[in-house]
Chain A
Amino acid sequence: MPRENRVGAKTGKFHFNVLDAVIIIVIILAAVGIVLRSGVAERLGMESRTEQVKIRFLVKDIDHTLGDSFVEGTPMFFCEDDSDFGVLSEEKTIVPAVTYVTADDGTVTKIESSDGSKIDLRTSVVATGVYNADGYFLLGGNVCLTPGMEISVRTDKVIMRALITEILRTGE
């Protein structure tokens, strides 16, 4: 009987008290916390922040015949899960493979592959992703890439280890 009166069931009136307000505030805070914690807010804003970048990379010491496999427009994938890495751009620089040799007197010399059978290849892919609040580039919104990382990627013909050298915003 007293309980009924308190919530106004019998009289038909609802009395909004302090506890009700506190409960609502707690629920709102919990909801905001969950949204922030789970990254929902970040994901909602992600679409509008997606931008195109050029990821430059170096493939070292490969056979010279593989240079022709890097053709503009070729899609590239991560070896680990076949997810998209990007599409090869028109950039391509091929130089004789470089190694460093230590002589008997302790001097270190840079040596280039003399017969041209081995090459170092520099190229890039065009990809899309976002920059997070800390300034990291996230490919596709979730794979963090930075210069200095070595990654395993492939085209439909060639698997390689690629050293990321630069990530450039293209402004698109």
Chain B
Amino acid sequence: MAEKTKKSYRVNVIDILILLLLALIICGTVYYFFFRDGVKNDTAVAVEYVIESDLVPDEFSNLIKKGDRLTCKNGTVSIGEVTAIEYKQSVYTYVDPDTGEQVDNPYPGHVDIYITVKSDAEIADNGYLIDGSIKIFVGTELGYRVPDYSGVGSCISLKTTRGSEK
């Protein structure tokens, strides 16, 4: 009797669903860890861009560090990793009305911050898309934060370091 029972096992709908689910999980895992970059569309690139924050009170100097992860202002989207940081004395550019010459005068108590950031991105219309939601191109105004500082700046340069040039 026991022999007969064992042989008469039939695969039912639930078994098939479980197997399908397992197959999907395995395929998803393999894709995520091994093929994501390769299969990804040809719009995937790596970008390096510079954010300038000007006229920042100098007491906020040296709070951003190389290696910091930069997020958008509300912290929901990672917008890259800081690869270089530079602080410069802020200046007020004055145009001499007589000569037309431009003169940079120091703006006391303030610094301009230049943050170089690298990130993966996708080519999008009129710029690049970081993490699928933050569009960036030269001139974009960007709120950002790192653990020790939050600020606002403008993208002043942008280049691709991997993938197709736009």
Contact = CB atoms under 8 A, between A and B. Distances in A.
Interface of A: 2-3, 5-6, 19, 22-23, 26, 98, 100, 102, 105-110, 134-137, 144, 146-149, 165
A106 B15 contact: no
Nearest to A17: B9
A20 to B, nearest CB: 10
Interface residues of B, number: 33
Given A19-B18, A26-B22, A148-B60, A106 B149 contact: no
Contacts of A2: 5, 8-10
Nearest to A4: B5
Interface stretch (B31-39, B40-48, B103-111, B157-165): B103-111
B77 interface: no
Contacts of A147: 60, 63, 148-150
11 contacts: A2-B5, A2-B10, A5-B5, A26-B21, A108-B92, A134-B147, A136-B147, A144-B145, A148-B145, A148-B150, A149-B150
B32 to A, nearest CB: 13
A136 B103 CA distance: 41
A26 B18 CA distance: 10
A135 B151 CA distance: 17
A134 B69 contact: yes
B139 interface: no
B103 A106 contact: yes
Contacts of A109: 108
A137 B9 CA distance: 59
B108 A108 contact: yes
A34 to B, nearest CB: 15
Contacts of A23: 18
Interface of B: 5, 8-10, 12, 15, 18, 21-22, 25, 56, 59-60, 63, 69, 75, 92, 94-96, 103, 105-109, 145-151
Nearest to A8: B5
A136 B21 contact: no
Given A144-B75, A148-B63, 20 more contacts: A2-B5, A3-B12, A5-B8, A6-B5, A19-B15, A22-B22, A26-B22, A106-B95, A106-B96, A108-B108, A134-B147, A135-B147, A146-B148, A146-B149, A147-B148, A147-B149, A148-B60, A149-B150, A165-B59, A165-B60
B149 A148 contact: yes
Nearest to B69: A134
Contacts of B147: 134-137, 146
A137 B15 CA distance: 48
Contacts of A148: 56, 60, 63, 145, 149-151
A26 to B, nearest CB: 7
Nearest to B152: A148
Given A108-B92, A146-B147, A148-B151, A100 B107 contact: yes
B151 A108 contact: no
A62 B70 CA distance: 33
B111 to A, nearest CB: 12
